Amino acid sequence: MPMPTRRLGPLAVSAIGLGAMNLNYAYGEPCTPEEGAALLNRAIDLGCTLVDTAALYGNGENERLIAAAIGHRRAEYRLTTKCVLDVIDGKRSLDGSPAQIVRTVEGSLARLKMDFVDMVYLHRLDRQVPVEESVGALVRLKEQGKLGAIGLSEMSAATIRRAHAVHPIAAVQSEYSPAVRNPEIGVLATCRELDIGFVAFSPVARGLLAASVQAADYVPGDIRAAMPRFVEPTLDANLALVARYDAIAAEAGCTPAQLALAWLLARGDDIVPIPGTRSIAHLEQNLAATSLAIDPALLEKVDEIMPPGALRGARYAAAMQAQIDTETFPDEELAVMTS
């Protein structure tokens, strides 16, 4: 049975996509090429038609993996990648200048072994470059036939409006889940006003809502070790809240991850979650969430126990938060830079 579809601007995609990042970036040792290929192909076999990557992920290795694993199936899915964040001379760099955007996109196309990608996002806002100039660089690449649509990631409502005035934005991508509600401050309403699709990354809250975080015992290279809400002294309090959430999933007869995805899908037909996983079993469960019929009363219970701001601790470490344009709640905890 085909998966239901949703629209991101001109793109029709499966209602749940696949975030490919954690196959070889941000969560410890990368999977093997064979493991990554098996998962990517299984996703397409199951009707997932949206695969999301970025130049930053694994210093381009994520894009190379996609090319090797599913490049031959290119007609079966939509592919999105990102620029502005990249690795330059071995160092993570944030550069929204038109010249660097061109270099990053050209590099992505070379690694992907493609001459066209369905959408390119500005991965973050470079506050040193007017967003209009960054969008303009993508417009010119689109006019050259190298990309089909333009997206933004972790941008505020005000920035979205500025970007959209230059060229129609197809999608805005930000972290969104029952546990992280920042898009509800202004971004979702702005996207709906401007007819922009919304892509929810980390829809299971980096594993908190997938029964995969039990303690701060992360392997080396796991970015959660530097995220305040995933370590003590706040993690225990957050896990106590998650235990109440898990009980609702049990009542619904689904996995905690499925409950999070169903909650997102119910928030509007313009929302496309892109969970990532290295487990084929979890992939199958995630994509099956499109066919679940969960009692709306249980989704309301999720809201009751996880209102905006329910999690303790900052979402990002201070250095990462400095690159985020997304709105924050008035009482939201933010990490502070220390000298």
The residues carrying an active-site annotation are 57
Taking the C-alpha atoms of residue 15 and residue 291, their distance in angstroms, rounded to an integer, is 10
Mean pLDDT of 304-323: 93
Confidence category of residue 338, pLDDT binned at 50, 70, 90 = low
For the chain, domains (ranges, CATH) are 5-321 (3.20.20.100)
- 107 burial (CB, 10 Å; 0-12 / 13-18 / 19+) is middle
The pLDDT of residue 339 is above 80? no
Confidence category of residue 33, pLDDT binned at 50, 70, 90 = very high
- pLDDT value at position 337? 58
H or E segment at 266? Answer: helix 256-266
The pLDDT of residue 1 is above 70? no
- pLDDT value at position 336? 66
Taking the C-alpha atoms of residue 79 and residue 40, their distance in angstroms, rounded to an integer, is 12
When the pLDDT of each residue in the chain is averaged and rounded to a whole number, the result is 96
Taking a C-beta distance cutoff of 8 angstroms, is the pair 286, 46 a contact? no
Q: Could you tell me if residue 157 is left (phi over 0), alpha (psi between -120 and 50 degrees) or otherwise beta?
A: alpha
131: nearest Cα among 108, 103, 162: 162
Q: What is the DSSP string of 91-160?
A: EEEE---HHHHHHHHHHHHHHHT-S-EEEEEE-S--TTS-HHHHHHHHHHHHHTTSEEEEEEES--HHHH
CA 21 → CA 7, 51, 63, 192, 329, distances in Å?
Answer: 22, 10, 9, 27, 27
Q: What percent of the chain has pLDDT over 70?
A: 99
Q: Which two tokens stand for residue 45?
A: 């076999």
* pLDDT single digits (tens) 13-27: 999 999 999 999 999
Taking the C-alpha atoms of residue 99 and residue 118, their distance in angstroms, rounded to an integer, is 21
208: nearest Cα among 328, 56, 324, 312: 312
